[in-house]
Structure 1
């Protein structure tokens, strides 16, 4: 991929991360009458419907083009989407927006790297393992008792589940981009299928979801933080690697933490702040490409590495 494609892809994924960063703080600020799983289900169902309509307006046969080769990654992405919504919104409800978002999307590059290794056979480097160890240490600090923001162990576990689902979704979406699938139609299928799995909770709380604060929250989440954000993300995946997309998703915990502190009045204790920095620092090590060694010319031929190797082992 050329530099221009890489730059535009990075900007799109970064834009998705910024929009996703508003999800947790918006949930806390709105204090919806509906439960977190119902809100998550309503979010992806509404976002999926919006994308499905846009796909049909652009191409009436948009869903017909999703051939048999697209179904395995579509099913994986759909399962990851539904599970992510339930896990993430429940984690925010239990342990706060700043910590839940930091753990979920701090883990994203790690889970994405592992999924790349399992699905695409990408070799994981020593730098990747070192960064992963630092990230795990950061999560351990986040789980220390006595935090002034009420870090909840179950909330942390739910956050870890959400971070794992993010990796599954990212790699599945990356596979889809290589199979000539109409991405608006494909993304709408993953959102609607994931929302269908949460439909019992969503239907049970329809009256609460219709309350003004809940309806406004679902409206924002469905339009901006789902339909727009997911399309930015999967479109950007066409220009960057899955591992790079996981790295750029770190914009989300930074945005969410900033909003949680500035708007919601949350305060991070010293262990939680240190854990967040260690986690993000480890993921920075995981995600930044190693520099290429300069080539040397000995009079007959060029020696030395001239390609850049990423921390997941992929060569560009």
Structure 2
């Protein structure tokens, strides 16, 4: 009879692995937030040369081609039938719904005003997670999340002069569908690698986005400029694919509620990019809000 060594139980790797995994997950989710923070400015650039329907459809097609190429090159098997409903929710939320509704909103809204959506997204995602997966974050978590969301809302609404526009209907619709897509994608990423989740969601939407792109391009004028091409490429590859790959991996590692609170920093990053890339004006309230948001993020991460 052989007696197994107890070295494995005492291994420092076994002890530190969960902590290292959480740290890596937070880092991946943070990279996703940085990628997403450029989405609205890049969309504004894209709208300089493309119509809203063309921009959304072409970005989805390009992202699907990149994702499909990766899936094919690595010979990834088809998703199991039981995962198809979840992938459909991801596709409807983050491949079609959020890009289309936010792009339509940006036709008449500034990126600062549109950042209100992102300010509310962490809280909405946590609520969706609680309803869909039965998670029960602590009261301190919810208090910090609500405080951070309130700070972001106050800042972004102040930036837009406190006025509500017709684009708000698009923005709040985008908020709901994106939160649902994030929640379902985070759930699937626990059993499927995150890049496969968004990859298959993009490919499964291709029968819709392909004809949509052809139809939109035939009806909307296209004026190719440096800004338009750069904006299109970023929202297609950076936001629609690579950003969601690391984002879903991060959510799978640290949990949907905790990862979603990192997005409290996204509106502030978006406003910085808007000032640098679009020339939009920022007030002195930005650094104060940034400090408040970072404190809230720290509290949610420790809750």
- How high is the TM-score relative to the length of structure 2? 0.78
**2:239 pairs with 1:228:** no
Match of 1:99 among 82, 95, 113: 113
Give 1:45's aligned residue: 61
Aligned CA distance change for structure 1 residues 251 and 142 (closer, same or farther; 3 Å):
closer
RMSD of equivalent CA atoms: 3.2
CA contact 1:41–1:199 (8 Å) conserved in 2: yes
- How high is the TM-score relative to the length of structure 1? 0.75
1:1-316 matches, within 5 Å, as: 2-59=18-75, 62-64=76-78, 66-81=79-94, 82-100=96-114, 102-131=115-144, 134=147, 135=149, 139=153, 147=160, 151-179=163-191, 181-194=192-205, 196-197=207-208, 201-206=212-217, 211-213=223-225, 214-268=228-282, 277=289, 281=292, 285=296, 288-289=299-300, 310=303
CA contact 1:75–1:190 (8 Å) conserved in 2: yes
Q: Deviations 1:130-169 (Å, cap 9, x if unpaired)?
A: 456543686478558x945x95423233222222223212
Aligned CA distance change for structure 1 residues 199 and 193 (closer, same or farther; 3 Å):
same
Q: Distance in 1 between matches of 2:164 and 2:53?
A: 18
Q: Distance in 2 between matches of 1:73 and 1:124?
A: 23
Of stretches 194-203 and 45-54 in structure 1, the one that deviates more from structure 2 is 194-203
Gaps of 5+ in 1: 292-309, 311-316
More helix by share: 2
Give 2:4's aligned residue: none
Displacement, 1:211? 3.8
Q: Report how many residues are paired.
A: 281
